[in-house]
């Protein structure tokens, strides 16, 4: 679907016309229905919100707005989910957002949960890291789940809002015009063309955004010439559910390699090819299969047992996959190639994301390399930031000036992601003998000297940026959890029922109080009071909440679960002032 390639990868492989069969996933058409504008049915003269693109970002945006009671039309030029796994690594903060949108638990149930990463140099393990060493969180550090599942779950969730979300598949945007108080979209369908007026048009149509091109906007930043092979293989293997990354492995001398587990016995493999690699040549099965065979054989020998009993027999596969260019890709006796592409990438963004009544979200606004899983996760965090603000503007609870804070806050997030991504690329692909010498020295030292590990960069994994010091937050010296941070989860007890802090707060402004704090009642503000065990309606079940937030303290929490202010002795006037500031009033 539009905007389906998450991150700044330029796909030299699968195109929309590519033929590919992934037997583990059954692609189903969502269907096309003539919109009222071409069928003659009554239609509004202007829609409050039009969203372009039904990838993870656009669908999440529609659901987020629906939860705030805001209706939207979603346009997409396709009628199926993305082909191939695409984005697979979904970070804890993103999973918490998805949980609020209604699909988080489903993703965790289907996906592969992991938190440990291992880094290798040649055939030696340099070190391992744990991304979530402490207990007391509902969502794991990461879940690996193919993008086609995420899109399927989001479409099904969107259909829970028939009066608020109008999904229009096979409706292709061909042009956008900005006006002072609206935007106009030109759309083509199988039944003809039509025009939509939108109070706000949200461009969620990916790195090759039609909206961005229509407005004559372009990214600024860096292109990287390195090319990488990305492949999904199906195999029965007992590698642990961890992230394994190699620098200069014996099976791929001079390059880097990455191995990740996905559901349905699918494994993601990335191999660095170099800047001179020919995408057309490298993605042919005859070239891909020997590379993967060599990697798996050498990894199997080092990490036994790998393949489960009975799976290395000379059995013919029951199915045959296709590569990106449609060539037949028969499976080897212990793995089968499901999907393959060759990509290069860029780290770039728009100068600003808000352009009058047109707002750019996700890859249409900024692109990064796939390393670190910052593309898809960054897009969902854009949604989390923008959704409540746009809803507040549409409900006239805030002025349009509030949307300037989307630029302020998410440009910080984009720049942080771009910086991490560019530095990872520099470390992975040294451009001079001196850079290579420094990299190899850090890798040699890191096994025994922890300080050297901070120098190693195989892709800093996605984490939310802090909003501290930006305009919507009220500074406070009282905060234990820093101002501008997203909330930290904790297991709670409501009566005899277990619950989670992140499920008790979100979607509205809330005052989170811990311990002995006064009750504050204000219109439009929920008050969530967490007490010690045995002392209140909502209790800190295992002590994590008080350890993470402190005691006898209250926090003003934005609808996107970020801390806006903190108070040791809250009163209605101070809380209201901080809430007004968070609304840009």
Burial of 412: CB neighbours in 10 Å, binned 0-12, 13-18, 19+: middle
- Tens of pLDDT, residue by residue over 157-189, are 999 999 999 999 999 999 999 999 999 999 999
Query: Which pLDDT does position 319 carry in this prediction?
Result: 31
Look at residues 366, 467, 344 and name the one whose alpha carbon lies nearest to residue 57.
Answer: 366
Burial per residue of 359-377, b for 16 or more beta-carbon CB atoms within 10 angstroms, e otherwise: bbbbbbbbbbbbbbbbbbb
How high is the mean pLDDT of the chain?
Answer: 87
Query: What three-state secondary structure class fits 550?
Result: coil
- Res. 55: pLDDT tops 50: yes
Query: Which pLDDT does position 429 carry in this prediction?
Result: 78
- Res. 136: pLDDT tops 70: yes
- Tens of pLDDT, residue by residue over 183-209, are 999 999 999 999 999 999 999 999 999
Query: Which pLDDT does position 474 carry in this prediction?
Result: 97
Domains of the chain and any CATH numbers? 30-107+140-219+350-428 (3.50.50.60), 491-582 (3.40.30.120)
- Res. 328: pLDDT tops 90: no
Query: Which pLDDT does position 580 carry in this prediction?
Result: 97
Q: Which of 90-104, 338-352, 417-431 has the lowest mean pLDDT?
A: 417-431
Contacts of 349 (CB under 8 A, 6+ apart): 219, 220, 221, 365, 366, 367, 411, 414, 415, 418
Query: Which pLDDT does position 84 carry in this prediction?
Result: 72
* pLDDT category of residue 309 using cuts at 50, 70 and 90: very low
* pLDDT category of residue 334 using cuts at 50, 70 and 90: confident
Q: Averaging pLDDT over each range in 460-464, 488-492, 494-498, which range is the top one?
A: 488-492
Q: Averaging pLDDT over each range in 24-28, 271-275, 462-466, which range is the top one?
A: 271-275
* pLDDT category of residue 226 using cuts at 50, 70 and 90: confident
Mean pLDDT along residues 224-237 = 87
Confirm if 6 and 147 have CB atoms less than 8 A apart: yes
Confirm if 206 and 54 have CB atoms less than 8 A apart: no
**How far is residue 198's CA from residue 83's CA, in Å, rounded to a whole number?**
30
Higher pLDDT, 57 or 439: 57
Look at residues 151, 116, 110 and name the one whose alpha carbon lies nearest to residue 131.
Answer: 116
Query: Which pLDDT does position 451 carry in this prediction?
Result: 87
DSSP lists the bridge partners of residue 347 as 222
**How far is residue 59's CA from residue 224's CA, in Å, rounded to a whole number?**
30
Query: Which pLDDT does position 303 carry in this prediction?
Result: 57
Mean pLDDT along residues 289-295 = 90
**How far is residue 459's CA from residue 347's CA, in Å, rounded to a whole number?**
13
**How far is residue 208's CA from residue 494's CA, in Å, rounded to a whole number?**
47
Q: Which of 260-264, 340-344, 478-482 has the lowest mean pLDDT?
A: 340-344
Q: Averaging pLDDT over each range in 402-406, 415-419, 514-518, which range is the top one?
A: 402-406
Mean pLDDT along residues 429-437 = 82
Query: Which pLDDT does position 316 carry in this prediction?
Result: 31
- Res. 11: pLDDT tops 70: no
Give me the percent of the chain exceeding a pLDDT of 90: 63
- Res. 388: pLDDT tops 70: yes
- Res. 67: pLDDT tops 90: yes
């Amino acid at each position: 679907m539009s905007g389906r390639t998450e991150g700044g990868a330029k796909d030299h492989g699968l195109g929309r016309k590519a033929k590919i069969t992934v037997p583990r996933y059954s692609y189903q058409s969502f269907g096309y229905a003539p919109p009222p504008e071409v069928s003659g049915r009554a239609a509004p003269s202007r829609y409050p919100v039009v969203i372009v693109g039904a990838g993870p970002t656009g669908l999440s945006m529609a659901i987020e707005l629906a939860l705030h009671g805001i209706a939207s039309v979603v346009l997409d030029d396709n009628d199926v989910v993305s082909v191939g796994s695409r984005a697979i690594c979904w970070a804890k903060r993103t999973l918490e957002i998805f949980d609020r949108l209604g699909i988080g638990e489903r993703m965790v149930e289907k996906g592969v949960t992991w938190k440990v990463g291992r880094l290798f140099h040649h055939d030696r393990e340099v070190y391992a890291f744990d991304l979530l060493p402490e207990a007391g969180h509902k969502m794991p550090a990461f879940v690996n789940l193919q993008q086609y599942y995420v899109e399927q779950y989001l479409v099904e969730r969107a259909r829970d809002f028939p009066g608020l979300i109008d999904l229009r598949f096979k409706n292709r945007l061909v042009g956008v015009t900005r006006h002072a108080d609206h935007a106009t979209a030109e759309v083509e369908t199988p039944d003809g063309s039509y025009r939509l007026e939108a109070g706000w048009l949200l461009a969620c149509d990916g790195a090759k955004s039609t909206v961005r091109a229509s407005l004559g906007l372009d990214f600024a930043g860096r292109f990287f010439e390195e090319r990488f092979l990305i492949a999904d293989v199906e195999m029965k293997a007992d590698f642990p559910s961890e992230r394994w990354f190699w620098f200069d492995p014996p099976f791929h001398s001079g390059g880097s390699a990455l191995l990740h587990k996905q559901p349905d016995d699918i494994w993601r493999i990335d191999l660095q090819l170099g800047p001179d690699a020919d995408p057309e040549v490298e993605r042919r099965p005859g070239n891909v299969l020997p590379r993967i065979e060599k990697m798996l054989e050498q990894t199997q020998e080092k990490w036994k047992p790998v393949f489960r009993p009975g799976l290395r027999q000379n059995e013919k596969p029951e199915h045959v996959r296709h590569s990106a260019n449609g060539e037949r890709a028969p499976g080897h006796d212990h793995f089968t190639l499901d999907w393959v592409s060759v990509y290069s990438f860029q780290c770039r963004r728009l100068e600003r994301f808000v352009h009058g009544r047109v707002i750019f979200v996700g890859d249409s606004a900024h692109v990064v390399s796939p390393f670190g899983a910052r593309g898809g996760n960054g897009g969902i965090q854009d949604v989390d930031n923008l959704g409540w603000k746009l809803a507040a503007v549409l409900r006239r609870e805030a002025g349009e000036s509030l949307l300037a804070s989307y630029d302020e806050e998410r440009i910080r997030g984009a720049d942080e992601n771009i910086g991490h991504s560019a530095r990872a690329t520099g470390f992975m692909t040294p451009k001079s003998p001196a850079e290579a010498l420094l990299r190899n020295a850090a890798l040699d030292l890191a096994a025994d000297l922890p300080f050297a590990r901070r120098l190693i960069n195989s892709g800093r994994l996605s984490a939310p940026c802090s909003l501290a010091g930006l305009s919507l937050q009220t500074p406070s010296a009282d905060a234990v959890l820093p101002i501008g941070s997203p909330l930290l989860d904790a297991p709670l007890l409501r009566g005899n029922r277990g619950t989670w802090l992140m499920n008790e707060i979100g979607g509205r402004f809330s005052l989170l109080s811990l311990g002995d704090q006064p009750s504050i009642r204000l219109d439009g503000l929920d008050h969530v009071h967490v007490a010690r065990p045995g002392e209140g309606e909502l209790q800190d079940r295992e002590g994590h909440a008080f350890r993470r937030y402190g005691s006898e303290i209250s926090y003003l929490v934005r609808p996107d679960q970020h801390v806006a202010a903190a108070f040791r002795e809250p009163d209605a006037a101070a809380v209201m002032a901080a809430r007004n500031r968070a609304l840009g009033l």
